[in-house]
Amino acid sequence: MIRYLPEKPFPENRVFPDITEFKKQSFSPDNFYQNKFYLYALDLFNNGYFWEAHEVFEFFWHDFQRQGATAEFFKILIKICAAGVKFQGKNKRGEKIHLNNGLLLLRAWQGRYGKEIFAGINLSTLLVTIENISEKENSFWQIQLILV
């Protein structure tokens, strides 16, 4: 292989999770606990691997052709992950933008579909948590995607 900067080693870990073992698992919001890929994404998110969780949620978003309640749910999670990435990069403006976009999408989703719990996540609790963070000038990352 050609290298242009051979003295600089490649990173030990890639930032994209290995999804090959999960690709054939179907996802249903009613049977979310059977989908290891979804559970893994929650683990990634809750442990600060926001970019990696984003990649998994984006896979689901595309899998549902970016339309409908489930796809829109994953789009909300993608926006929250993007806010986490900006938070880690100390980009307050980017964090706020993505967090507010996630908040708007979540409010619209609840208005459209009227569900408090979806795919095991209490969306009302998530909404309140995001609202509290977005109102604070010097917020810290405290969102957890906890199954109920």
CATH number, domain containing residue 37: 1.10.3450.10
Query: pLDDT tens digits, the chain, 148 residues: what are they?
Result: 555 667 767 656 656 666 666 666 688 899 888 888 888 889 889 888 899 889 989 999 998 899 999 999 999 999 999 999 999 899 989 999 999 999 999 999 999 999 999 999 999 999 999 988 877 765 657 788 989 9
Count of residues in the chain: 148
| Total number of domains constituting the chain | 1
Residue 1: inside a domain = no
Which of these, 139, 132, 40, lies nearest to 124 by C-alpha position? 132
Residue 116: inside a domain = yes
The domain in which residue 54 lies consists of 32-43+50-135
Residue 142: inside a domain = no
Helix (H, G, I), strand (E, B) or coil at 140: coil
Alpha carbon of 80 to those of 22, 26, 45, 136: distances in Å?
A: 22, 23, 10, 16
Residue 140: inside a domain = no
Residue 110: inside a domain = yes
Helix (H, G, I), strand (E, B) or coil at 94: helix
